[in-house]
Amino acid sequence: MSLSIFFQNLINAISLGFLFALIAIGYTMVYGVLRLINFAHGDIFMMAAFFVFYTMTIFSLPWGIACLVAIVLTMLLGLSVERVAYRPLRNAPRISSLCSAIGVSFLLENFAVVVFGGRPKSFYCPEFFTKTFILGGVRVLGINFVTPLVSIVFLSLLSYLVYRTKNGLAMRAISKDFDTARLMGINIDRTISFTFMIGSGLAAVGAILWASRYPQIWPFMGVFPGWRAFTAAIIGGIGSIRGAMVGGFLVGFISIMLVAFLPELAGYKDAFIFIALILVLLFKPEGLFGEE
């Protein structure tokens, strides 16, 4: 493999890694506060792409504004899912909320099939995203510049929010000790809503970038990115935001580099991601950055 092709793959892997990180954070944050795997997260991601599509086609809004609207709508969707499907089960056994999460996932997917239709739709993105640039012999797609930049902005915002603000502090307090946090006067419901909004918002950003990269959207588009991001969160150590970022990168690298170096194994891409998961679970079950 020539050096320029290697760099091309590297840039691809970084870009994809950021995408997985954005999605994985939604899993890890919700797990942090509720000890619940939000299986509907991948479908919330899918809905975000459709929100962009329909705000553009129905209200003929420009792309940028449609994206903003879609992010807000997705945040509201995440908020409502928590209200309707998880909050009433707050004191129920863990397994009930887990079932509820899977239920929401199927509900959203089938809702999308019925309402949006099962046939893939093409996703509009600015011309710049699909343009190829040649830098020192390396061919780089526009989207591969945009993804890391946008991700860095949002991930920094997130770090600021979680580590520097009182809402973030409340979130961290809840994830450490739910009951004591309440006794400190923290409004648990509000903080959990906030967590879902942030996680869903990041998923929406991820969905827009994802759909710009693979410009077709359909009701099951969230399933595999969801599973991979979930794997990324587990590998990094579920509950840890830093872990989700690192796990996301790892999954991104495996996806791209495996295909690049061993093209004959390309079809087993996901198998390798899950092998990585199994290895981590065997040797460091709390994940790379997780707490024991």
Return residues touching other proteins (CB under 8 A): 160-161, 164-167, 169-170, 172-173, 176-177, 179-188, 190, 194, 197, 291
Residue nearer to other proteins on the CB measure, 99 or 188: 188
Residue nearer to other proteins on the CB measure, 110 or 180: 180
Tokens (6 digits) for 136: 């020192």
Q: How far is the CB of 68 from other proteins (least distance, A)?
A: 14
Residue nearer to other proteins on the CB measure, 110 or 291: 291
Residue nearer to other proteins on the CB measure, 224 or 291: 291
Max CA distance (Å), the chain: 60
Tokens (6 digits) for 170: 């409340």
Residue nearer to other proteins on the CB measure, 131 or 182: 182
Q: Residue ranges of the alpha helices (H) in 132-288?
A: 142-164, 166-176, 178-183, 188-213, 223-236, 241-261, 269-283
Q: How far is the CB of 178 from other proteins (least distance, A)?
A: 10
Residue nearer to other proteins on the CB measure, 68 or 188: 188
235 vs 5, 10, 193, 208, 281, CA distance in Å? 28, 21, 26, 24, 8
Interior/surface letters 61-98, b for 16+ CB within 10 angstroms, e for the rest: beeeebbebbbebbbebbbebbeebbeebeeeeeeebe
Query: What count of Cα atoms within 13 Å lies in the side-chain half-sphere of residue 116?
Result: 28
Q: How far is the CB of 193 from other proteins (least distance, A)?
A: 8
Q: How far is the CB of 72 from other proteins (least distance, A)?
A: 11
Tokens (6 digits) for 191: 């903080």
**What dihedral angle (degrees, nearest 10) is formed by the CA atoms of 70, 75, 77, 78?**
140
Residue nearer to other proteins on the CB measure, 123 or 194: 194
Residue 197 to residue 274: CA distance in whole angstroms: 28
Q: How far is the CB of 5 from other proteins (least distance, A)?
A: 41
Q: How far is the CB of 169 from other proteins (least distance, A)?
A: 6
Residue 4 to residue 248: CA distance in whole angstroms: 24
Element of type H or E holding 73: helix 63-81
